[in-house]
Amino acid sequence: MLGRALLIASAVALGTACASTRAVPRPFPTPGAGHPPETAVAPATSAPDGYAVSGSAMTLQGAPYRDGGSDPGGFDCSGLVQYVYGLHAVPLPRTVTDQYAAGRPVEPDEIQPGDLLFFSTIAPGASHVGIAIGGDEFVHAPSSSGEVRVEHLSSAYWSARLVGVRRIL
């Protein structure tokens, strides 16, 4: 009786497994590559705004930090920014230095959701980047915490290291 129950349970489990169609999952979106129709991200129907971009970044909180990472399996700071903007079909360069050259400069008192915030953390000039989410907060992938998280721009650490703001949208 127990053997038959295990056989039935196995058949049910195999019949409902994700890979039962033998479909091969596609990689996560890359900037400019568009989205396959079966992804959970809805295609943009109009130009993205900062709230949509910052909202996408917020959904990635808790994703692990990985040096050189650019997908939900692990992000570094510029990989997170490139990935999030790529979800909205906005191509961005991969490195902090190149991202700092993109967009147009914005004064710190004019920061809006979706703006890129650049910090000098490990070397002079821009060496770290985050995405403004509104108010005094931004989301980023710091190596110190090991995961994507939200910080306050007004904290002593971050406010002293802000070197510039860029608006991409």
Distance CA 78, CA 66 (A): 11
Tokens of residue 82, six digits: 């490139």
End-to-end C-alpha distance for the chain, whole angstroms: 64
Residue 67 predicted with pLDDT over 90: yes
- Average pLDDT value over all residues in the chain: 80
Q: How many residues does the chain have?
A: 169
Q: Residues 36-59: pLDDT tens digits?
A: 333 334 445 567 899 999 999 999
Higher pLDDT, 1 or 15: 1
Among residues 35, 77, 88, 152, which one is catalytic? 77
128 labelled catalytic: yes
Second-level CATH architecture of 45-167? Alpha-Beta Complex (3.90)
152 labelled catalytic: no
pLDDT score, position 20: 26
For residue 13, what are the contacts with CB-CB under 8 A and spacing of at least 6? none
Distance CA 127, CA 166 (A): 14
For residue 56, what are the contacts with CB-CB under 8 A and spacing of at least 6? 84, 87, 88
Distance CA 8, CA 28 (A): 35
Residue 93 predicted with pLDDT over 90: yes
pTM of the predicted protein model: 0.74
18 labelled catalytic: no
Among residues 18, 35, 88, 140, which one is catalytic? 140
Domain ranges of the chain: 45-167
Among residues 18, 88, 128, 152, which one is catalytic? 128
DSSP 167: E
| Alpha helices in the chain, H assignment, sequence order | 2-16, 50-58, 77-87, 96-101, 156-161
